[in-house]
Amino acid sequence: MVNEARYGVKRPSIADICAGGFSTPWDAPMIPPFPFRFRNAEILTLYWRTDPDAMAFLLPPPLQPIGDIACVHIYRMNDTDWIGPYCEANVMFGARLPGKAEGGYSPYLVLSTDIGVAHGRELHGQPKKFGQPSVDFRGDLIVGRVERNGIDVITGTLPYKQKPAAPGDLKPYFDFATNLNLKAIDHIDGRPAIRQLTSRRLAEVTIHEVWRGPGTVELRANAQLPVFRLPVLEPLEGFYWRADFTLVAGDIIHDYLDGSA
């Protein structure tokens, strides 16, 4: 019999290991269980017109692209359960699975936390990689940067709080609150274990302030974070906003391995 009091944590049973929300190592779990809360997140959202063919190239079938607009959200997460303060960037464009889901598909995500990278890849199937996003205030300018491998692959700017906006103004091109992703995980022997399209939507969203203005986006080439594949044909507007929200479980909207794909 193991003396659990000695270790300060319960030794899991087989049922615990098989239950949802389990993560290793069990005495210091890596992955937060749903739900967990984000408080006072600061977000710089920038839109640009891009190449529809590039969008179609990056989409896994049977997803279909919507329009010709891409965006990047660069987050300064100031207070997050489990994870603590960190920064994140999510590149998205509109997509749909006819008859089932519509929202924003994410071909690229970058985070400054290993917990967030692991959680996004293991649970949502988001293609998260480690990097250094940031949101800074430089006088009358808000500057968002996404750095990986010592290269600023995304640089975006927005005037500092010049024109107030409403929460409903944040999504003029597609509903990015619903996030679509391709989840791909193999068994240890190399056989495919999970091949799914997933969907998740943030819950308990409280938006504290929204500001809009003309935005700029500059992309630089990086073979390990090829955001340049969504070229900036025309910079559009941007938003700076602050919000609280809760990350909850999502849905499987397509399973490639169930025999019906």
Q: Domain limits at 72?
A: 34-255
- 46 and 137 in a single domain? The answer is yes
Given CA atoms 176, 164, 50, 120 in this order, what sign does their dihedral have?
negative
Structure confidence at residue 5 (pLDDT): 74
Dump pLDDT digits (tens) for 15-35.
Answer: 998 998 889 998 888 988 999
Asked if the structure places residue 260 within a domain, the reply is: no
Dump pLDDT digits (tens) for 66-92.
Answer: 999 999 999 999 999 999 999 999 999
- 72 and 9 in a single domain? The answer is no
- 45 and 101 in a single domain? The answer is yes
- 142 and 243 in a single domain? The answer is yes
Asked if the structure places residue 248 within a domain, the reply is: yes
- 203 and 102 in a single domain? The answer is yes
Catalytic site residue 128? yes
Asked if the structure places residue 240 within a domain, the reply is: yes
144 pLDDT higher than 60: yes
232 pLDDT higher than 90: yes
- 17 and 54 in a single domain? The answer is no
How many domains are contained in the chain? 2
- 52 and 80 in a single domain? The answer is yes
Asked if the structure places residue 151 within a domain, the reply is: yes
62 pLDDT higher than 60: yes
- 126 and 76 in a single domain? The answer is yes
- 64 and 3 in a single domain? The answer is no
Which residue's structure tokens are 């408080």?
Answer: 39
1 confidence band (pLDDT: 50, 70, 90): low
Structure confidence at residue 200 (pLDDT): 95
Given CA atoms 164, 169, 170, 173 in this order, what sign does their dihedral have?
negative
Stated pTM of the model: 0.94
Instruction: Map residue 28 onto helix, strand or coil.
Output: coil
- 19 and 38 in a single domain? The answer is no
**Residue 138 belongs to a domain with what CATH number?**
2.40.400.10
Q: Which of 128, 129, 161, 163 is catalytic?
A: 128
- 81 and 122 in a single domain? The answer is yes
- 20 and 88 in a single domain? The answer is no
Q: In angstroms, how far is CA 67 from the centroid of its own chain? A: 20
Q: Where are the beta strands (DSSP E) in the chain?
A: 36-49, 64-77, 79-80, 86-97, 101-111, 128-130, 132-138, 141-148, 151-159, 163-164, 178-186, 192-201, 203-214, 216-219, 234-247, 251-255
